[in-house]
Amino acid sequence: MKRVTAKRVLGVSGGMLVGLLAVAVVCALVGSAAGWGRSGKAFAASAVVKLGGGGWWDGWADGVLADPEMATLSTIVFAERLPRVLLGVVVGAGLAAAGVVFQGLLRNPLASPYILGVSAGGALGAVTAMRLGLMGAFMGLSFITGFSFAGSLLAIALVYWVGSPGGRTSSVRLILAGVIVNAFFSSITMFLNYTADFTQSRRIVTWLMGGLYLADYGRVWQSLPWVAVGFVVLWLISRDLNVLSFGDQAAAQLGVSVERAKRVAFFGGSLVTGVCVSVSGPIGFVGLVIPHMMRFIFGPDHRLLLPSSAISGAAFLVLCDTLARVGFGAAELPVGVITAFVGGPFFVWLLRRAGRRRLAG
Amino acid sequence: MRDDALIKAEGVGFAYGEVEVFDRIDVGVKRGEFVGIIGPNGSGKTTFLKLVSGVLKPTRGHVSLGGVGLRHMSHKEVARKAAVVPQESQVGFDFTVFEVVLMGRTPHLGFLSFESGEDVEAARRAMEVTDTERFADRFLDELSGGERQRVIIARALAQEPEVLLLDEPTAFLDIRYQVGTYDLVKRLNRQTGVTVLAVSHDVNIAGMYCERLLLFGKGGIYRDGRVAEVLTPENVEAVYGQEVVTAEDPRHKVRWMVPISKELRGEGTGDEAGCG
């Protein structure tokens, strides 16, 4: 009669965070021409300098970075790799968390963060910016990111307006509204792409596949606070999501404020998704399958499912992105190609192995 | 109107949009009573139960639980007083029986809090009385309909309610589980004094277990009283529009009522479409 306790949630999350940290460091260093040892040394030395130091190791770090080759390596790791890894963490965590919440809200195992039209709105916004030739940034916010987020907000508002007649959120209507908004926005996006010139079209198609190749610290700081706050808000309704799996009416009769919980789930999940799409395009598979994998391992209690999915979604996306970056020689693949290619077989293995029993508890 | 009523409906009317279900229900249920609601399809039995559990709001009049008007209570406050056992329960994910019963503690948990040892103890007690402990680690949909219904009763008991609201809890069960389920509820009613309000399609089951029956007819309650007063062929025929006969077995102290088919008696119109 195992159950989810605060201690278990903290223990599992803590352990998984340590794993994520290791994955992040390894992925930031991997694929450097200078090799592991030298990259690691450069990374360690600049980490000491950046963290302020205050001991004998300061001298060591200064010595290491005095070497121009090491200084270059350090710049590569900190300016190129690290923001990309950090953005992978934010987007992977956000998409997996949104996937958990949408599957719970809609009581539909096929739900992904994109089922309610958010990504189609985000894509339309981004593609509009690209067609208008707005490639720069305004006050540090890239036009593509800003337009994409605006498009997501438009889709969220539309879906809620159609899916919640009289303020009562209905799962079936939300899904229908999502399908329609997806189709409608996608058709405009396709039109904009079709009528674009070759260079623009190439850029649009690449963006639509989703990827972390645009990563920089600006995008990390623009997305991290939203996703972090969104995650906390969504975790607050995680127990309500458990009870909601018996249906709205039974949940109300068990004392859940059903409308409040559903509204928080819808807007929280949608906003987190919109933010992720705006900085990385619509990266598939993470938000659909990571929640299922974690259910196989830890069971369906959302209080544990949400943090475990967010952390493993982050690690998974960072790993896939590293593979996309270094696995295929000089040509970099869109990470969306890798997520399903790597994750699919792993999911099948887990599905066969777990059956309906939980692997952990 | 009884003033010591635990459940009280005063001048309650309800309509789904333009379609009125009933226009005036006045009824009180005292603490510890075992009351059945019977009546034909569409007479509003289940609707009335939903008004008492607060998931529907009356279009007229008001309902109170333990002297407090439902309009002043949150779902959480209602769920601490009244627990519902529905006809059937579908759960979207693979929660174990223990986790399902523990969810009955929801109305007692504060914002952000996890179940305490006390909550676990309450769930364990509920599983003990309902004899569902041996299913604790199994999934709800691995169980038979009757076992599943016992788990849902355990979840309702974990709420530690004053009232159990049963909405045709045995509609999908075979006769053994029908009797088993009502035996369990009756025992709880006798031992713990929990008040029971049960909707039933089966007039015989309702007649066996309830002390008092509310016979719903068109627009409201047609009869309210002791079983023997309410469950007469005249009343049943008037409300259901179906001829019935009664019989009894003095040895087992049971009385039952069965419908009479005109077709089988040879008074049919010859129109085959009447089947089913």
pLDDT digits (tens, 9 = 90+) for A88-131: 999 999 999 999 999 999 988 888 999 999 999 999 999 999 99
* Residue given tokens 């940034």 in the structure block: A137
Q: How far is A322 from chain B (nearest CA, A)?
A: 33
Q: pLDDT grade, residue A19 (50/70/90)? A: very high
Candidate from A245, A250, A258 with C-beta closest to B86: A250
Asked if pLDDT for residue B276 goes beyond 50, the answer is no
Backbone angles phi, psi at B225, to 5 degrees: 175, -165
Cβ-based contacts under 8 A for chains A and B: 91
Considering only CB atoms, which chain B residues are within 8 Å of A250? Answer: 84, 86, 89
Distance CA A285, CA A336 (A): 8
B55/A3 touch (CB, cutoff 8 Å), yes or no: no
Going A285 to A288 to A291 to A293, the CA torsion angle's sign is negative
How confident is the model over A124-155, as pLDDT tens digits?
A: 999 999 999 887 878 778 888 999 999 999 99
Per-residue pLDDT at A53: 66
A255/B115 touch (CB, cutoff 8 Å), yes or no: no
Chain B CB within 8 Å of residue A166 CB: no
pTM above 0.80, yes or no: yes
A255/B79 touch (CB, cutoff 8 Å), yes or no: yes
Average pLDDT over residues B25-37: 96
Considering only CB atoms, which chain A residues are within 8 Å of B99? Answer: 3, 242, 299, 301
DSSP E strands, chain B: 5-16, 19-30, 34-38, 60-65, 68-69, 82-85, 163-167, 195-199, 212-217, 220-226, 244-249, 254-259
Residue of A nearest to B115 (CA): A5
Distance CA B136, CA B174 (A): 23
B92/A245 touch (CB, cutoff 8 Å), yes or no: yes
Backbone angles phi, psi at B13, to 5 degrees: -125, 150
Asked if pLDDT for residue A33 goes beyond 80, the answer is no
Residues 128-157 of B with CB under 8 A from A: 136-137, 139, 155
Q: How far is B127 from chain A (nearest CA, A)?
A: 12
Average pLDDT over residues B144-151: 93
Residue of B nearest to A236 (CA): B112
Backbone angles phi, psi at B7, to 5 degrees: -110, 130
How confident is the model over A333-357, as pLDDT tens digits?
A: 888 888 888 888 888 887 777 666 7
Chain A CB within 8 Å of residue B83 CB: yes
Per-residue pLDDT at A34: 64
Residues 262-301 of A with CB under 8 A from B: 295, 299-301
Nearest C-alpha neighbor of A214 from the set A277, A128, A122: A277
| Mean pLDDT across chain B | 91
Question: What 3-state DSSP class applies to B244?
Answer: strand
Per-residue pLDDT at B274: 45
Asked if pLDDT for residue B3 goes beyond 80, the answer is no
Contacts of B137 (CB under 8 A, 6+ apart): A1, B96, B97, B98
* Residue given tokens 């992105």 in the structure block: A321
Chain A CB within 8 Å of residue B17 CB: no
A254/B104 touch (CB, cutoff 8 Å), yes or no: yes
A249/B55 touch (CB, cutoff 8 Å), yes or no: yes
How confident is the model over B63-79, as pLDDT tens digits?
A: 999 999 999 999 999 99
Average pLDDT over residues A210-216: 89
Considering only CB atoms, which chain B residues are within 8 Å of A253? Answer: 53-55, 75, 78-79, 82-84
Nearest C-alpha neighbor of B129 from the set B84, B189, B177, B86: B189
Contacts of A103 (CB under 8 A, 6+ apart): A109, A111, A291
- Long-range (24+ apart) CB contacts under 8 A made by A336-339 are A336/A209, A336/A210, A336/A211, A336/A281, A336/A282, A336/A283, A336/A284, A336/A285, A337/A209, A339/A283, A339/A284, A339/A285, A339/A286
| Mean pLDDT across chain A | 90
